[in-house]
Amino acid sequence: MTPGAVGPAGDVRPAAPAAPAPGPVPPGILTALARTRPLPAATAVLNAALHARRMLLLKSLLVRFDAVRGALPTAARRRFEDDWALLERAERTDAQAVRAVLDYPATGAWLAAALATPDGPDFQEALAGLGAVAVAAALRAGCRFTTTRLLPAGTLPLPGIGLLRCADGRARLSGRAGAVRITDSAGRTLLLPGPSAGPAAPAVPGTRRPADGALAWSALHTLPGGTAVLDDVDPHRVPAGGIGPTALPAAERPFSDPAAWAARWRDAHALLAATHPARAAETTALVRAVVPLVPPADGGPPLSATVRTAPGAVLAQLPADRRELAELLVHETHHTKLAVLDELVPLWRPGGGLHRVGWRRDPRPVSGVLQGAYAHLALLDLWWRARTGPAWVWRRRAAERFETCREQVAEALSVLARSDELTPYGREFVRHMGHHHAHLGVTARPSG
């Protein structure tokens, strides 16, 4: 890997990252992003920024390992060095395949958690996550490799691919000729087809296991028409505290209902493509994973979220219909866009007061006001198109939602315009948001 090198004696030394340090985005791209325009050039800037951020986090992990390596047990130190060497070999074989693993949302969540872990046994345990990333990268790249993994928790999550469960806590993985052989210490074996080199999951989704169930492989399901996966197995897919005020947990397989998600996803994308093709293409390009949450107990509207450390993952309860899912995807995609953009060019300063917004009961900091206003501005754009679009059932709902939400966004933009907590880039961003908001509802149909 370019962030560092493993020497002949296993000595790891940090080197300069391959990606340049984040800097300003071109003015035209910033304007397009502020106005929620789904341009391929803007998507490319965001994807490049996301990857640069992952490389910097990976380098930070390497630097920290180098600082504490003398205090680590020999086995833990050698394990990390071997994992890093495998990651380097995978990158030499297929750099794009490795990038797909590094940029996967759960990889970002693991990296953030590992870097936040204090030194000592907990950090040593967090370092073991590099092995999962390295094995996933080697599988995607098509490397020939053999590795034996100790699995204290009995599982090995491979980001974007699936989850291995091994009851006796030790497994040997051998990858070659487009397949991987998994063998536990009792000699039980699973032979699995390898994943494609791209970001899609293995060709055979679902769970496979020998008759006694002591060894099992759960491959992710790829959602129709693209490369996004339904991630219902990765332990990093949802924060430890859950989602929302009720600490909503992830839905566990087999209760994640992949068939229902696939059908709803297909219908929602067809509706989105018919209403705004560029928006549908943007969603396909930016959403890497959908993480099912447990269903609502009270039958209320579905909850959804985007985690800042894992942009590109939509955490959601299954929406009731295709319209709800289309709206949810646009909403969460814009949370991802803003999360990545703020890492590239900070839009606000930490601290400050709380403010009321029309779509939340609890007061929000300026960062929350901006996030909410941005996602709802994208929905306004979508509803403005849907009210005259091909889906007649959606037209009435879209017109009603547009009128209600337009005033709420106007109030939030007013709060942001008066705030002294925005950076110069943030003020410029909000100014362009305001121009787009004023434009919506005035002309027959917004451009872009």
- List, for residues 135-177, the tens digit of each pLDDT value: 999 999 999 999 999 998 899 999 999 999 999 899 999 998 6
pLDDT band with cut points at 50, 70 and 90 for residue 191: confident
* Unique residue bearing structure tokens 């293409």: 281
Which of 98-102, 196-200, 232-236, 300-304 comes out lowest in average pLDDT? 196-200
CA-CA distance, 77 to 81, in Å (whole number)? Answer: 6
* Average confidence (pLDDT) over 361-383: 95
CA-CA distance, 111 to 61, in Å (whole number)? Answer: 8
Secondary element (H or E) of residue 167: none
* Confidence at residue 360, expressed as pLDDT on a 0 to 100 scale: 87
User: What tens digit of pLDDT does each residue of 29-51 get?
Assistant: 999 999 999 999 999 999 999 99
* Inter-CA distances, 135 with 51, 106, 222, 285, 351, Å: 19, 15, 20, 25, 40
CA-CA distance, 34 to 48, in Å (whole number)? Answer: 18
**40 and 29 Cβ atoms separated by less than 8 Å:** no
* Average confidence (pLDDT) over 311-335: 97
Tokens at 104, concatenated: 């996967």
Q: Is the pLDDT at 21 greater than 50, yes or no? A: no
Helices 258-275/322-344 angle, 10° precision: 80
Q: Is the pLDDT at 441 greater than 90, yes or no? A: no
Residue type, 319: P
User: In the chain, pLDDT over 70 holds for what percent of residues?
Assistant: 88
pLDDT band with cut points at 50, 70 and 90 for residue 19: very low
CB atoms within 10 A of CB 88: 19
Q: Nearest Cα to 108, choosing from 64, 35, 51?
A: 51
Q: Nearest Cα to 412, choosing from 443, 381, 382, 367?
A: 367
Q: Is the pLDDT at 58 greater than 80, yes or no? A: yes
* Confidence at residue 442, expressed as pLDDT on a 0 to 100 scale: 65
pLDDT band with cut points at 50, 70 and 90 for residue 210: low
Which of 179-188, 270-279, 329-338 comes out lowest in average pLDDT? 179-188
User: In the chain, pLDDT over 90 holds for what percent of residues?
Assistant: 74
Q: Nearest Cα to 329, choosing from 228, 438, 219?
A: 228
* Unique residue bearing structure tokens 């269903």: 295
| Rg of the chain on CA atoms, in Å | 23
Please provide the size of the chain in residues.
448
Residue type, 296: P
* Confidence at residue 206, expressed as pLDDT on a 0 to 100 scale: 66
* Confidence at residue 9, expressed as pLDDT on a 0 to 100 scale: 34
* Average confidence (pLDDT) over 85-95: 95
- Domain edges within the chain: 22-238+247-345
User: What tens digit of pLDDT does each residue of 232-269 get?
Assistant: 999 999 998 899 888 999 999 889 999 999 999 999 99
pLDDT band with cut points at 50, 70 and 90 for residue 13: very low
Which residues contact residue 335 at a Cβ distance below 8 angstroms, ignoring those fewer than 6 apart?
A: 306, 311, 371, 374, 375
Tokens at 201, concatenated: 């999951």
Tokens at 219, concatenated: 């491959």
Find the Cα–Cα–Cα–Cα dihedral 191, 196, 199, 203, rounded to 10°. Answer: -60
- At residue 293's C-alpha, the angle toward residues 305 and 381, to 5°, is 35
Q: Is the pLDDT at 297 greater than 50, yes or no? A: yes
